[in-house]
Structure 1
Amino acid sequence: MKPYENIQETLSFYGVKCNQPYYVSSGNQVFKFPKIHFRMDFYTFCICTSGSITLEIDNREYVINKNGFLISAPSTIIKFLSTDNDFKMKVLFFEKNFLLKNISNPFVIDKMNLFMDGSYTIVEADKEKTIQLFGLLDYLQKKTSGKSKFTEEIIRTIIFNLLLEIAEIISLEEAAPEEKVLKKKELFFKFDELVKENILFQKDVGFYAKQLCISDKYLIQLVKNATGKTPHQIIDETLLKEAYVMLGNLRYNITQIADKLQFSSVSAFGRFFKKYASISPTQYRLQQNIS
């Protein structure tokens, strides 16, 4: 495990020079991440602007999608697992000593209850809740590029405002856990209905994720949490049910059924059916006295 003891060392991994106890990114695409667990010894706020990222914290795997964010305290250990090709995020790093300079209460950050999972919180926020965050990050970036007599104090004030906005979003998320569960259930039921409606034409997970306005990775996580299965398994199970129905209808021969189910060939359909039913389509008809 590699410790990044300061912001400068972390940013040097990305070829970014920084001589300040704070940093806010432009939100451009990130092309490389450390491939090992590493510890960040400073405060971090990362918000996804497009695509998604999968990461591991405290041996738990998380997916952060567009508008979702991570906020973490110093000493949080992270490992980046994978990202979408279009993944982008805006990042804020800052050191505690910088933020609390001239502040008499050293526990002011702790009182915000920002860290619900020990040293970090991951929130699946929506666009409406994150508009203010993006606005403050943009303003912060603008101020960090200039220098004046009051630049540092202005930057501290913006960061405090940002933390308070984050704390408010977190408190609202924690206050309505049932609503979050219901939203996930609703998404899963929509996925299930979409599969039933489109199974003869679409077997690609990406199609269903796009219809639901979520990433492929989030759909995989959603379905796995709801059923213990993958979206591919749900799709295949629904396709198998359609195959059973068509095999029970003598108007269709095996070739026509393979064609209606959008298989590339009769043999491809046969392999699919045998994988799940343990017998061929023809044997199934014989077994069921369908002739």
Structure 2
Amino acid sequence: MPVKLYDTRAFTEKFMPSSALRLLFKGDLTRFFIVRVEDIYRHVKHAVPASRSATHCCLYLTEGTASMKIGSAAYTIRQGEMLFVPAGQIFSFREGEVNKGYLCHFHPDVLIGKFGQSGLLQEFGFLQVWGYPHIIPDRQTAAFISQLFGRILFYYEERGLKNLNIIQSCLITLLCEANRAYQPAPGAGSGSAVSITNRFRALVFSHIKTRHRVADYAAMLNITPNHLNKTVRSVTGKTPSRWIDESIVMEAKVLLYQTELSIGEIAAETGLEDPSYFSRLFRKYEGMTPVQFRKMIEKS
């Protein structure tokens, strides 16, 4: 049974009471919303385990620090910095952090319309699953971005998505400012190596439930498994097989959290026919069995 992406309303309702939702958000949450981070923290008091949304997500801080796990990598941002979570990507964050800023969710379709076009989605590397999500603008650009977030929030609070045209134009400008500051992952290596690695990661994202062999991905990229192994390792510090294993485990964590599927059904959903092997793989990377992980979620 395939798992659907969380729509944004379902995600927010899981962590926030409906009365708070009515106060903070206006209009169709599956398309767009923006809120001050400090306002969300008044209602959300616990960590968010591995989850995914059908919308892009952007976090920008004006004070403090924030940590988030995106895919299998952990990031910490500070004042004037941003984190992007592409639509469909798996993310989680911990509780207890004190910070201020803006949190914005927007469906990819929001960038298409009166002032946007589908090609915009390809312009921003940070909205791709292979992109580097941590944006560190210079001081002047950070000031522009902060002003744009403030204006988007003003127009959203004023009339919700009835102001979509002006919200869209401000959002596109904001993303263009972020794109000026965008840098690939530190130490990413040569252009050719980065290109192969990005394509590999995109393929893993799309085929993780059916393809688990490095040789399969090498064939799709028309290179040898040895070349793929050396390239991905030089760019990311991890082997292709580790990327594949970690992606399987991340898919499993979402299924354990968002569904009531049995462990055997989750193993099958991730493309592993042997539940025992699945449990061993999960424990290798998480330090606990899938059953223990689910019990931990239920207690939280």
Aligned partner letter, 1:106: S
Q: How far, CA to CA, are the matches of 1:61 and 1:94 in structure 2?
A: 22
**Alpha-carbon distance change, 177 to 134 in structure 1, aligned in 2, over 3 angstroms:** farther
Larger radius of gyration: 1
Aligned partner letter, 1:58: G
Q: How far, CA to CA, are the matches of 2:16 and 2:123 in structure 1?
A: 33
Of residues 141, 150, 157, the one that matches 2:169 is 157
- In the TM superposition, 1:1-291 aligns within 5 A as 5-12=6-13, 13-15=15-17, 16-17=21-22, 18=25, 19-20=27-28, 21-28=31-38, 30=41, 31-84=44-97, 86-102=98-114, 105-115=117-127, 118=130, 121-147=133-159, 151-170=163-182, 173-174=183-184
Q: How far, CA to CA, are the matches of 2:124 and 2:161 in structure 1?
A: 29
Gaps of 5+ in 1: 179-291
Q: How far, CA to CA, are the matches of 1:123 and 1:102 in structure 2?
A: 27
Aligned partner letter, 1:25: V
Conserved? CA contact 2:80–2:137, under 8 Å: yes
Q: How far, CA to CA, are the matches of 1:96 and 1:148 in structure 2?
A: 18
| Superposition RMSD in Å | 3.1
Conserved? CA contact 1:46–1:69, under 8 Å: yes
**Alpha-carbon distance change, 3 to 26 in structure 1, aligned in 2, over 3 angstroms:** farther
Conserved? CA contact 1:51–1:83, under 8 Å: no
- Report how many aligned residue pairs link the two structures: 174
**Alpha-carbon distance change, 8 to 125 in structure 1, aligned in 2, over 3 angstroms:** same
**Alpha-carbon distance change, 41 to 119 in structure 1, aligned in 2, over 3 angstroms:** farther
Q: How far, CA to CA, are the matches of 2:167 and 2:103 in structure 1?
A: 15
Per the normalisation by structure 2, the TM-score is 0.50
Aligned residues: percent identity?
A: 13
Per the normalisation by structure 1, the TM-score is 0.52
Deviation digits for residues 75-103 of structure 1 (CA, Å, limit 9, x no counterpart): 1111113553x322311111122331357
* Bigger relative contact order, structure 1 or 2 (CA pairs below 8 A, ≥6 apart): 2
Q: How far, CA to CA, are the matches of 1:47 and 1:159 in structure 2?
A: 13
